[in-house]
């Protein structure tokens, strides 16, 4: 009908991993159902002929190739042909059709479930591995839409295709049966079918338009929900619950309206076309009886075939409408999977990263974000020594987080090189590189699991002793023991049973249990009070004393990192200064001014004095 590009449709199905063998088997089952149905109806012709001839006594006088075949089979097996036998055979074909149809329904349900699970797994995995997921957080709404509404609608397409093909086989078979009964009548049937298809085209175009609109609104609803649920606290504090609820209702209502309109169009198509098809069928019966003089038994069978052909033709159009209406969902799913595959991360090189002996070297590293005119990092050249604590400081937007993101290769620089000891970073396998870098975010993401389960996140096979040791090094052991069930205490959603400082130290324990040679702390004290910050600094001091970790800290609260072995000052994507706290303070510049602003003019004093000034020892 010109509404579907068959070649592109088959290509999409192949890209989605849908096995042609499976669908060929489904098609075989559907065609087998059709075959049994046609056979059951076909047996009715000799039944009608036998009834007209007056019963079983006249079997030998009945003429026709089909009677010769049946008499030959009867003589071979020794079973006489009777009216009851013919009816029983017809009924057996009906039973076989129902049994095959039941098996096909169960098989299709299982295949559909398995395909859906595999596609969901692939879609989720590709989202996690796609670089675009880092640059566009709003894509979470797209993922939710694809994994739920769009996937379910998309899977309607291949199964509707197999159903449509089997129904077309049924239509061709019935038209062929009409041809046997009367060639001229069969030609008239083809004309009727063509007329119905032409009349249906306008309805099908509108069904496809509604399908596209539903796909668009599904994505909008999923994106809206993800964003609003993520900011539920802000919405409540801002008093905008009614406005957000009204906005969601508007989107939800639009989706319902598009769905209703699509169903109404499909209903109008059926209501409009069926009277046309029935009228044409009645007209053909009249023509067959009055003009072509068909026998009573042939006219009766012709009537049965026509009665079956009309709903079958309606079913063909309904299945085609399903394909047209859900095809936009299939296209959306295919586009998402293709896009995430094309933007997937590389597996890296073949070298396994296990240790850092000398340091991390940034050599003229430049990175620019997509659609940005300014470089986030501009010709960065700096060394982070191994087994020491280095701090990255600077104003917001200076490039601190970008510089850290380059280490686990969440991003790759456009120019320059990063080396771990003497090995370029891109020669390490991605898995070993990320296993060797432990990361603690600014806001720990803690699920409603036990304290032990959270620490084991990322190393499921960690022993109880390893979990306890990681907790001790992170300064979390004492408060975990004080919990009602110790390490087996559920933490609540987001770690609700813990304070901010406790969540931070628990997350450090989660990073430490992996025994990675590099530890990255992103703004570890930005949300902590003075007591929690003091506890964190004590934990950091224990780490530096008892381990040989290479620690990198991103900090805005400079009291946290005043005794770091090295402070790297970034401004506008460039390295402004490198040195210890004692070296940077007399030199002035951004670091000295920031210390002065944060701590009330305490400039140029030793780090120990600075620790006292901000409420604790370093």
The C-alpha atoms of residue 555 and residue 553 are separated, in whole angstroms, by 6
The span from the CA of 346 to the CA of 131, in Å, is 10
Reply yes or no on whether the pLDDT at 616 is more than 50. Answer: no
The Cα–Cα gap between 563 and 582 comes to 9
pLDDT in tens, 257-283: 888 887 787 777 767 666 766 666 666
Is the distance from CB of 437 to CB of 521 less than 8 angstroms? Answer: no
pLDDT given for residue 351 in this prediction: 93
Of the segments 68-72, 162-166, 349-353, 608-612, which one has the largest average pLDDT value? 349-353
What's residue 608's pLDDT?
42
Q: How crowded is residue 77: how many other Cβ atoms within 10 Å of its Cβ? A: 8
> Would you state the pLDDT for residue 181?
62
As a whole number of Å, the CA-based R_g of the chain is 37
pLDDT at 607: 41
Token pair listed for 141: 């709404």
Q: Place 600 in a pLDDT band, splitting at 50, 70 and 90.
A: low
Is 1's pLDDT higher than 60? Answer: no
Decide if pLDDT at 185 tops 70: no
Higher pLDDT, 50 or 570: 570
The pLDDT value recorded for residue 79 is 85
Question: Per-residue pLDDT averaged across 213-239, rounded?
Answer: 76
pLDDT at 609 over 60: no
| Contact (CB, 8 A) for 502 and 466 | no
Distance CA 468, CA 475 (A): 11
The residue that leads in pLDDT, 125 or 52, is 125
The closest of 47, 42, 49 to 97, measured between CA atoms, is 42
pLDDT at residue 586 above 70?
yes
With CA atoms as reference, report the closest residue to 1 among 274, 320, 263.
320
Give residue 525's Cα distance to chain centre.
36
Bridge partners of 393?
569
Q: What is the pLDDT of residues 351-384, one digit of tens each?
A: 999 999 999 999 999 999 887 888 999 999 999 9
Phi and psi, residue 54, nearest 5°: 105, 10
Lowest average pLDDT, out of 43-52, 237-246, 294-303, 509-518, goes to: 294-303
Answer whether residue 385 shows pLDDT above 90: yes
Average pLDDT, the chain: 80
Of 11-20, 104-113, 537-546, least confident by mean pLDDT is 11-20
What does the DSSP 8-state code read for residue 428? B
Give residue 149's pLDDT: 73
Q: State residue 424's pLDDT score.
A: 95
- Contacts with 117 (C-beta within 8 Å, 6 or more apart), sequence order: none
**Comparing C-alpha atoms, which of 314, 309, 284 is closest to residue 197?**
314
Residue 539 predicted with pLDDT over 70? yes
Calculate the CA 411 to chain-centre distance.
Answer: 23
Residue % of the chain over a pLDDT of 90: 19
State the DSSP H helix or E strand holding residue 218, giving kind and residue range, or none if neither: helix 183-230
Please report, for residues 199, 218, 310, 440, 536, the alpha-carbon distance to residue 204 in angstroms, rounded to integers and kept in the order given.
Answer: 10, 21, 18, 54, 65
Give the confidence band of 294 by pLDDT, cuts at 50, 70, 90: low
Q: How large is the average pLDDT for residues 521-538? A: 75
What confidence tens digit (pLDDT) does each residue in 66-86 have? 778 888 888 888 888 888 888
**Could you write out the three-class secondary structure of 46-88?**
HHHHHHHHCCHHHHHHCCCHHHHHHHHHHHHHCCCCCHHHHHH
Please give the average per-residue pLDDT across 18-29, as a whole number: 80
Provide mean pLDDT across the span 492-498: 81
The residue ranking higher by pLDDT, 186 or 333, is 333
Determine the Cα–Cα distance for residues 362 and 284; give it in Å rounded to an integer.
85
What is the average pLDDT across 485-513?
86
Flag whether pLDDT at 187 surpasses 50: yes
Contact 240, 284 (CB under 8 A): no
The model's pLDDT over 90-145, given as tens digits with 9 standing for 90+, comes to 889 989 989 998 898 888 888 888 888 888 888 888 877 777 655 555 566 677 77
Using alpha carbons, select from 155, 119, 20, 161 the residue that is nearest to residue 338.
119
Residue with tokens 């530890």: 519
**296: CB partners within 8 A, 6+ apart:** 48, 52
To 10 degrees, what angle do helices 296-342 and 156-181 make? 160
- On the question of pLDDT at 157 being above 90, the answer is no
């Amino acid at each position: 009908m010109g509404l579907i590009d068959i070649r592109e449709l088959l290509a999409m199905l192949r890209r989605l991993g849908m096995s042609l063998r499976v669908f060929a088997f489904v098609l075989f089952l559907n065609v087998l159902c059709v075959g049994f149905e046609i056979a059951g109806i076909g047996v009715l012709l000799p039944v009608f002929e036998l009834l007209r001839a007056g019963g079983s006594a006249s079997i030998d006088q009945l003429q026709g190739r089909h009677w010769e075949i049946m008499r030959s089979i009867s003589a071979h097996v020794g079973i006489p042909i009777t009216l009851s036998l013919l009816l029983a055979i017809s009924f057996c074909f009906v039973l076989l059709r129902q049994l095959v149809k039941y098996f096909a329904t169960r098989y299709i349900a299982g295949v559909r479930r398995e395909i859906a699970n595999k596609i969901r797994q692939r879609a989720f995995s590709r989202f996690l591995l796609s670089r675009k997921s880092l640059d566009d957080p709003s894509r979470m709404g797209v993922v939710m839409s694809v994994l739920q509404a769009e996937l379910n609608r998309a899977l309607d397409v291949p199964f509707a295709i197999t159903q449509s093909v089997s129904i077309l086989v049924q239509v061709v078979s019935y038209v062929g049966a009409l041809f046997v009964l009367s060639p001229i009548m069969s030609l008239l049937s083809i004309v009727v079918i063509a007329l119905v298809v032409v009349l249906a085209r306008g309805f099908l175009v509108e069904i496809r338009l509604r399908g596209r609109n539903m796909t668009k609104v599904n994505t909008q609803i999923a994106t809206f929900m993800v964003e609003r649920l993520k900011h539920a606290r802000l919405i409540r504090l801002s008093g905008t619950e009614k406005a957000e609820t009204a906005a969601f209702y508007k989107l939800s209502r639009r989706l319902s309206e598009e769905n209703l309109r699509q169903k109404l169009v499909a209903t109008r198509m059926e209501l409009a076309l069926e009277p046309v098809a029935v009228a044409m069928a009645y007209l053909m019966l009249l023509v067959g009886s009055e003009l072509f003089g068909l026998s009573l038994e042939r006219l009766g069978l012709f009537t049965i075939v026509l009665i079956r052909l009309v709903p079958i033709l309606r079913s063909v159009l309904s299945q085609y409408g399903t394909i047209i209406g859900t095809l936009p969902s299939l296209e959306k799913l295919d586009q998402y999977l293709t896009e995430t595959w094309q933007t997937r991360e590389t597996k890296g090189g073949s070298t396994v990263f296990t240790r850092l002996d000398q340091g991390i070297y940034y050599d003229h590293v430049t990175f620019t974000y997509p659609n940005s005119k300014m470089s986030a990092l501009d010709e960065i050249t700096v060394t982070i020594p191994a087994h020491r604590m280095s701090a990255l400081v600077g104003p917001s937007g200076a490039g601190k987080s970008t510089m850290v993101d380059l280490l686990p290769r969440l991003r790759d620089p456009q120019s320059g090189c990063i080396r771990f000891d003497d090995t370029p970073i891109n020669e390490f396998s991605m898995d070993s590189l990320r296993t060797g870098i432990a990361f603690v975010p600014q806001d720990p993401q803690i699920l409603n699991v036990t304290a032990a389960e959270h620490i084991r996140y990322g190393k499921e096979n960690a022993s109880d002793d390893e979990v306890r040791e990681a907790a001790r090094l992170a300064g979390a052991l004492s408060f975990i023991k004080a919990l009602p069930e110790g390490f087996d205490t559920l933490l609540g959603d987001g770690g609700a049973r813990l304070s901010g400082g406790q969540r931070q130290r628990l997350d450090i324990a989660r990073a430490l249990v992996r025994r990675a040679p590099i530890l990255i702390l992103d703004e570890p004290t930005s949300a902590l009070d003075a007591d929690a910050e003091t506890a964190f600094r004590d934990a950091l001091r224990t780490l530096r004393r008892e381990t040989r970790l290479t620690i990198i800290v991103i900090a805005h609260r400079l009291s946290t990192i005043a005794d770091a072995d090295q402070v790297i000052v970034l401004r506008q994507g460039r390295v402004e200064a490198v040195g210890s706290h004692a070296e940077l303070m007399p030199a002035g510049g951004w670091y000295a001014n920031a210390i002065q602003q944060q701590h009330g003019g305490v400039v140029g004093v030793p780090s120990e004095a600075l620790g006292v000034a901000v409420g604790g020892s370093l």
